[in-house]
Amino acid sequence: MIAIIALLMGILIPVIRSAREQARKAVCLAHVKSLITGVHAYATDYDGKIPASIDGMNASWNFVCWQTYDPPPRWINLGRLYGTRIITDPEIFYCPSQTNRILQNVQSNEDGVGWNWTSPTNNEARAISYIYGLLAEIRPMPELEFKSLKLSDLKNRALICDVFIPFGEGPVWAHPNGLSTGFGAGHVEFIKVNKEVIEIAGQFGGAPGDAQRNERDLFTAAMFELLAGKSYVMEQNFLP
């Protein structure tokens, strides 16, 4: 009897885990849909422009939604959707499958918002678990920079996805087989990513200012091209 129960548990536990992950992935896609819909609403209110970053911010910092590096302190990137009250629920900015330690403070704090984080440069910032395809500064790969901030020019671009790139470690993938992705045209899709790409992504890490900083930025740029269907960009720059 005990052996039968153990066998059943061995069968059921993976099924339950898979079902939970599928449920979390569905919530994640709903969050990405809310964010991409918010980008469209923002563009409607701001002469067709999408939420902007700040000059000089590297692509590997695009999970930052609030910053004090460049005065005055303000919302940037996808954080502008919160700052303009287009999105009012902070939890939408977090993937439920993302468990990185930086992103644990989702619960509301004294000012009613989670996501507090102190950056490696000791500046106040706020972090979200979705990265933003506004590639603010990609010096090694300038052809991948957005030449325009107009949403109408970015219909075929992947703008949002749920890989998180903290400093001190490589990219952290919320879902094991791919990325919840939002496109400039307004649709969302779960894009399966080759395991080899994920393994290579895991090799990138290090501290701010080290030699891997540009590599992380380059990876971020290439990954968004991959999500937009241009797999050759990732292959030429990262795959052997």
Prediction pTM value: 0.82
In terms of Cβ atoms closer than 10 Å to its own Cβ (0-12, 13-18, 19+), residue 161 is buried
pLDDT digits (tens, 9 = 90+) for 141-167: 666 666 567 888 888 888 999 887 666
Q: What is the pLDDT along the chain (240 residues), one digit of tens a residue?
A: 666 655 555 655 565 566 787 888 999 999 999 999 999 999 999 999 888 887 767 776 788 888 877 888 888 889 999 999 999 888 898 888 877 655 554 444 444 445 665 555 555 667 888 888 876 455 556 666 665 678 888 888 889 998 876 666 667 788 888 889 999 999 999 998 877 777 777 676 555 555 566 677 777 777 888 888 877 777 777 766
**Cis peptide leading into residue 72 (ω within 30°):** yes
